Amino acid sequence: MRYLPRMAKKPLILVSPSIEKRGVEFHDLSASLSVKYDLAVLQAGGIPLTMPATTDRAVIAECVRRVEGVLLTGGDDINPDLYDKKLPAKIKKTVGQTPDGGARDLRELILIEETFRQRKPLLAICRGHQLLNIAFGGQLVADIRQQVPGALNHQQLNRAFELVHEAALTPGSLVSKICKRLVLGVNSSHHQAVQKVAEPFVATAVSPDGLVEAMELKPVAARGMPFLLSVQFHPERLTQKFAEHRAIFGKFVEACVRKNLK
């Protein structure tokens, strides 16, 4: 499957990592990133670059300026104060604490703002999908098991490379065009989810229990962005087996190439 023009320069993709409390070297706070993201970008024809661990707005803006696209990845829970300051204690205790004191939340919120300001292609995955919604005033389900009666088991970490449930895709949506189908099998490894979709977005994939599996910009809002797709599942873990998930990265990188040629 070919996505890139023969003579196109490979685009640089800025990938935002997690921060681990204890790394291998000296046990310092460490940047952490599954190689599956890098491999998926490389397979699609892009070159992944890991974002530095900084909240300096000028540095983040310069990082975005130097690349052709941005990839927001999965990882830690998001500080609930960013979307629900009145979250009940019994639910709040299910939310994990980030080891960097919330610096990743701040860094990625700035990254989202800069990506939109500079109009670069954006692919958001899992946590990135959730934070993108928060960045525009949306809300989250903090814990699916407690807040969504009758929900599927969405936290199937032991089946990360398998299709564990289906998602219904909106006809004519970007994700349906990319995947060339109206029902998409997905993996599932999250206990939080998008609840109230923020105004510039529209849900374009929904699980059988009603949770948002993909968001895109509404047509009017999309005019300024060359590409935006936000997904709750992890396509980077499915690219080896499933062409439709490989196509997500292919179209994202293709959009980054087009941005580079302008």
Consecutive H or E run containing 130: helix 127-135
Confidence of residue 130 (pLDDT cuts 50, 70, 90): very high
Residue 2 neighbours by CB distance under 10 Å: 8
> Tokens representing 113?
């703002």
126 is known as an active-site residue? yes
Q: Is residue 2 part of a domain?
A: no
Q: Is residue 1 part of a domain?
A: no
Domain of 111: which CATH number? 3.40.50.880
Range of the domain at 131: 12-261
Q: Is residue 7 part of a domain?
A: no
> Tokens representing 107?
């860094």
Residue 215 neighbours by CB distance under 10 Å: 28
114 is known as an active-site residue? no
- Pick the catalytic residue from 63, 126, 179, 256: 126
Q: Is residue 6 part of a domain?
A: no
Convert the pLDDT of each residue in 50-104 to its tens digit: 999 999 999 999 999 999 999 999 999 999 999 999 999 999 999 987 888 899 9
Instruction: For 184-211, give the DSSP string.
Output: EEE--B-S-EE-SPPTTEEEEEE-TTS-
The answer to whether 214 and 232 have CB atoms below 8 angstroms apart is yes
Decide: residue 139, CB within 10 A, 0-12 exposed, 13-18 middle, 19+ buried: middle
- Pick the catalytic residue from 129, 154, 190, 234: 234
Look at 32-41, 96-105, 165-174, 212-221 and tell me which has the smallest mean pLDDT: 96-105
Confidence of residue 177 (pLDDT cuts 50, 70, 90): very high
Q: Is residue 136 part of a domain?
A: yes
Q: Is residue 177 part of a domain?
A: yes
Is beta strand 18-20 parallel, antiparallel or unpaired with respect to 69-72?
A: unpaired
The fraction of the chain above a pLDDT of 90, given in percent, is 83
The three-state secondary structure class of 213 is: strand
Q: Provide the mean pLDDT of the chain.
A: 93
Which pLDDT belongs to residue 45?
97
113 is known as an active-site residue? no
pLDDT at 142 over 90: yes
Q: Is residue 4 part of a domain?
A: no
- Structural domain count, the chain: 1
- Pick the catalytic residue from 236, 245, 254, 256: 236
